[in-house]
Amino acid sequence: MWKYFVIFILVMSVITFFVFGWDKWKAKNDKWRTPESTLFLLAIFGGSIGALLGMQVWRHKTQHWSFRLGIPIILILQAAGLVWYFFFSK
């Protein structure tokens, strides 16, 4: 069970990382942009590590307070959920 969960998180993080990079490329080339809500949803549905890495590597959305605070908060809440599941749900 946990093997599939870890694979899911890795896949979502890789996808989210590259979506952040793709959106940065589109921003530089005056193309249609990925909605911010989509970037947040990718983070919420398992891609928060990829979002955080994408923000740093691509230097994307680092000036937006909603991302600078929101993505780490999402990651912390996800980690807290895992801790709760492991230690308190049984």
pLDDT at 1: 76
In a domain, 29, yes or no: yes
pTM above 0.85? yes
In a domain, 31, yes or no: yes
The sign of the CA dihedral 65, 50, 18, 11 is: negative
pLDDT at 26: 97
In a domain, 90, yes or no: no
Tell me the DSSP string of 18-81: HHHHHHHHHHHTT-PPPPHHHHHHHIIIIIHHHHHHHHHHTT-STT-HHHHHHHHHHHHHHHHH
In a domain, 51, yes or no: yes
pLDDT at 2: 83
Mean pLDDT by 10 residues, the chain (90 residues): 91 98 97 97 98 97 97 97 88
In a domain, 89, yes or no: no
User: What total number of domains does the chain contain?
Assistant: 1
Q: Within 10 A of 62 (CB to CB), how many other CB atoms are there?
A: 10
Residues 6 or more apart from 73 whose CB is under 8 A from it? Answer: none
